Structure 1
């Protein structure tokens, strides 16, 4: 008789929530954070019985959902709550972070369907927009188990006042014809990303038209190296911002052209998984590599022509 009484006491604890049978995950992929929401009480499981990565019981109850948060994509010792990171090479390389929300019943008998809500977020390693500045977008996606959410970070190319790189100049950037040959300071920065990611400038070149594929071009940076002594690279692949300078110029025999477009091919590199720092330039050949359209562009106007 005593055993029956114990069983009666346990049943309300196992079924205190209203079971939901919806099998999906809402994944929000932020630059530094991943948030996964599942319907509350999935198949009768309580929040305290669900764990992130099988180790972290850190769920938060929000109206209609159980929320699990990965707050840091740069763990100091190991991946946060068994978050897995993977780099996929190829034409469109990506970094993918994945995890799962799983059930864990400590009772002697399991009365609910076992759960394994897998989810992941993909981060592009090469940016594919022809724009000086593009805004950050956070993607919230409704997915079935195992699907992927994606996001874009905020990446910008700006002209700075001097080599201290403290103050940006307003766009578009004007150069007086009498000042041709003066120094132009460029900074390319990724905002909102974890500090494990470094900005790597691969190639920079100038064209007399907005098109980065224009055959009339002047190379400034080739394979992360200065093309000549008029270009100086200060920082590259060391932080979330890479900087360089070059001497301003205009294209010869194109007197009617008063605008120069600067294009840079930029990569985002995961320093915890890859060697981001380019090898010394003296040991490498300065041969222009084929562009993969990971390009930022900016305009420079020549006044007085």
Structure 2
């Protein structure tokens, strides 16, 4: 053969061939042949029968292109038990077996997991191979972020630390959205003149709600109350914890019973876990107390209203709000007249994207202590969380005379 072997991108090439005998290497020319390098790491030749019955075709291995090593088409693919090596659209790969359960085939069996500012998405390798996309050509918005093959699936990952991968954070009126896409391009050369280029662009997102309301559906833990929001697949999850403390340093947990005088202060921390504290803060909108584990009870006492301390209760002090994913406030203990000596606490809050937003509320009351705001955070999401009961020994609390439906009479007895 006169000329080198073609590469994958060369498609079908025409080469002259010569007959070699005792008179020389190319003593007689033969009809030209055609050669193609295939993605499965082999060549296809279109030959013509030699004139002499004792003649054969042969080639010099030194002319083989380095980008097409001669080896088995399925070399190093490691197909799983649900896959079989094959070829489609000019691409060799691990194809799905006939009995393979094709779940969510339209999006290549995608599975998305979101947590904090991180996301994991995996695709079915065999479904990708059947569509003509090899795993090597796929990447996220940043082409350096390639996928990893594990157990027949191609996994991609991004986070807000050292692997952002071109992820964009957007906020609309109702949700915070982390967006990225899986991209890839293949070119199936069918000849010298034409090629068929195909592109994959699979967009996906992790969505966190900006405003939500939820209530406790199980018995309340004495030390802490947890509400977990679980959204549909591809949506984010986060937790809210309400934890009471005995001291202003928030180091000594409240054990559920008041053992001192009616002037005892209780300190409440409401912490949001599962969102990126560099991008979001939490804002307490409302906090209130009820004598029973019913957040909608007609007998209620407001502690925080419109993100600030209730001016009707001079003992409430907002210590932190909108500064981070942990909000804090304190108040002096009390109970409701005509009800058991116990309290249930409830709060409604939302997340605030710190970038370009002023998340800390401005309160006229002097009770709001401002802390230095982090400079690298972002805007918004909401939820209600409940805690209780707080149990008091008889005669050791302020008594609050509250009779529904007369909210104007909501005043503590000092």
Q: TM-score by structure 2 length?
A: 0.59
**1:295 match:** 384
Correspondence 1:52-131 to 2 at 5 A: 52-53=140-141, 55-72=143-160, 80-89=164-173, 93-105=174-186, 111=196, 113-131=198-216
Q: For the Cα contact (< 8 Å) 2:289–2:303, is it kept in 1? A: yes
Change in Cα spacing, 1:2 to 1:57, as seen in structure 2 (3 Å) is farther
User: How far has the Cα of 1:218 moved from its partner?
Assistant: 1.4
- SS of 1:35's equivalent in the other structure is strand
- SS of 2:40's equivalent in the other structure is helix
User: How far has the Cα of 1:157 moved from its partner?
Assistant: 0.2
- SS of 2:275's equivalent in the other structure is coil
Runs of 5+ unmatched residues, structure 1:
142-148, 284-292
**1:11 match:** 39
Q: For the Cα contact (< 8 Å) 1:28–1:138, is it kept in 2? A: no
**1:290 match:** none
Change in Cα spacing, 1:110 to 1:158, as seen in structure 2 (3 Å) is farther
After superposition, what is the alpha-carbon deviation per residue over 1:118-155, rounded to whole angstroms, capped at 9, x for unaligned? 211211234422236336577784xxxxxxx2232121
**1:191 match:** 273
Question: Highest relative contact order (Cα 8 Å, sep 6+), 1 or 2?
Answer: 1
Correspondence 1:1-305 to 2 at 5 A: 2=3, 5-6=6-7, 7=11, 8-9=36-37, 11-12=39-40, 15-19=91-95, 22-24=105-107, 25-40=110-125, 42=128, 43-53=131-141, 55-72=143-160, 80-89=164-173, 93-105=174-186, 111=196, 113-131=198-216, 133-134=225-226, 136=228, 141=233, 149-170=234-255, 173-176=256-259, 179-195=261-277, 196-228=279-311, 229-252=314-337, 254=338, 256-272=339-355, 274-281=357-364, 294-299=383-388, 300-304=390-394
Runs of 5+ unmatched residues, structure 2:
12-35, 42-89, 97-101, 217-223, 367-381, 396-414
Compare 271-280 and 197-206 and name the one that shifted more: 271-280
Q: For the Cα contact (< 8 Å) 2:237–2:274, is it kept in 1? A: no
In 2, Cα distance between the equivalents of 1:136 and 1:261?
19
User: How far has the Cα of 1:261 moved from its partner?
Assistant: 1.4
In 1, Cα distance between the equivalents of 2:305 and 2:231?
34
In 2, Cα distance between the equivalents of 1:100 and 1:52?
5
Compare 6-15 and 210-219 and name the one that shifted more: 6-15
Q: For the Cα contact (< 8 Å) 1:29–1:138, is it kept in 2? A: no
RMSD: 3.0
Compare 268-277 and 236-245 and name the one that shifted more: 268-277
After superposition, what is the alpha-carbon deviation per residue over 1:196-216, rounded to whole angstroms, capped at 9, x for unaligned? 111111111112222222222
